[in-house]
Structure 1
Amino acid sequence: MTTDSKSMIQRALAELLETGGVEALEPLLSDGFVHHRPDSTSSTKAEWLAAVQAALVPLADMQVEVHHLLADGDHVVLHSRRRLPDGGPEIVVVDIWRIDGGLVAECWEIIEPVAQAAAHLVWWEAAER
């Protein structure tokens, strides 16, 4: 399952970027799919697909460089760097996907703007003051 899961996530990302639409992604998600964010909010399949579709318009020319695509059991981890064209903002993203029954059941996503990375290395110092 590990190789198939990695291939499914890689294919879904490639099709998402190539087509600019969520049509190829939608059938890969279970009906009970949940997307989790670091602020403890979550969204349903329909909510997440709508948010991804809305983001694709302004991010149409985004470059995605995959640094790691790892799988272990029913989880796939994707670590990527994403850039907007013409010197736009750059972010690092870590997605953790849980596969169940051949479909994506959950995703956790962490996004960090590269310009803020140095400050995040010492986040505890603000609490010490």
Structure 2
Amino acid sequence: MTTQNTTTDNKSIVQQALTALVATGDVDALAPLLRDDFVHHRPDSTTSTKTQWLDDVQTALVPLADMQVEIQHLLADGDHVVMHSRRWLPGGEPAIAVVDIWRLDGGLIAEGWEIIEPLAQVGANMVWWEPADH
């Protein structure tokens, strides 16, 4: 298999995982696409196992059952796939931008990183380096 085929296959696996999750609202559709030793990394440096992460996703799906997901970018390079999406609840708010980074191994998702930004806070987050007014 060529690198181009691997990259394309990895993009397809990630897109299949998200589509299955959104379509069914059930992590049972997502679980077979994750390695048993899957690790999910949060921006605060905490991690969770496959079971812990799937439990967290299932819990989040209850209040977010009607969430809409629009994929903005799906990029792949070798065993890494990056997905940038916009997600919102009915009525358009609250809306978030999400960047997921996935590492695949042997046709399964082995690791995931996630950054979520509420779109209402984008302006404030664009100037995080400026000193706070006192």
TM-score category of the 2 structures, normalised to the smaller one: over 0.9
Q: Contact between 2:13 and 2:107, CA under 8 Å: does it hold in 1?
A: no
Alignment counterpart, residue 123 of structure 1, candidates 110, 123, 128:
128
Alignment counterpart, residue 13 of structure 1, candidates 12, 18, 22:
18
Task: State percent identity of aligned pairs.
Answer: 70
1:5-84 to 2 correspondence within 5 Å?
5-84=10-89
Q: TM-score, normalised by structure 2?
A: 0.92
Q: Distance in 1 between matches of 2:103 and 2:132?
A: 34
SS of the equivalent of 1:18 reads helix
Q: TM-score, normalised by structure 1?
A: 0.95
The runs of at least 4 aligned residues of structure 1 exceeding 2 Å deviation read: 126-129
What is the root-mean-square deviation of aligned Cα atoms in Å?
1.3
Q: Contact between 2:100 and 2:114, CA under 8 Å: does it hold in 1?
A: yes
Alignment counterpart, residue 102 of structure 1, candidates 103, 107, 110:
107
Q: Distance in 2 between matches of 1:120 and 1:106?
A: 26
Q: Distance in 2 between matches of 1:4 and 1:87?
A: 32
User: Structure 1 residue 88: deviation in Å?
Assistant: 2.5
User: Structure 1 residue 127: deviation in Å?
Assistant: 6.4
Q: Distance in 1 between matches of 2:121 and 2:89?
A: 16
Per-residue Cα deviation, 1:79-118 (whole angstroms, up to 9, x for no partner): 0000111232000000000001111110000000000011
| Structure 2 residue 82 is the aligned partner of structure 1 residue 85 | no
User: Structure 1 residue 128: deviation in Å?
Assistant: 8.9
Q: Distance in 2 between matches of 1:98 and 1:128?
A: 41
Per-residue Cα deviation, 1:52-102 (whole angstroms, up to 9, x for no partner): 011111111111110000110000000000011123200000000000111
SS of the equivalent of 1:49 reads helix
Q: Flag structure 2 segments of 5+ consecutive residues without an equivalent.
A: 1-5
Q: Distance in 1 between matches of 2:107 and 2:48?
A: 20
Q: Distance in 2 between matches of 1:24 and 1:3?
A: 21
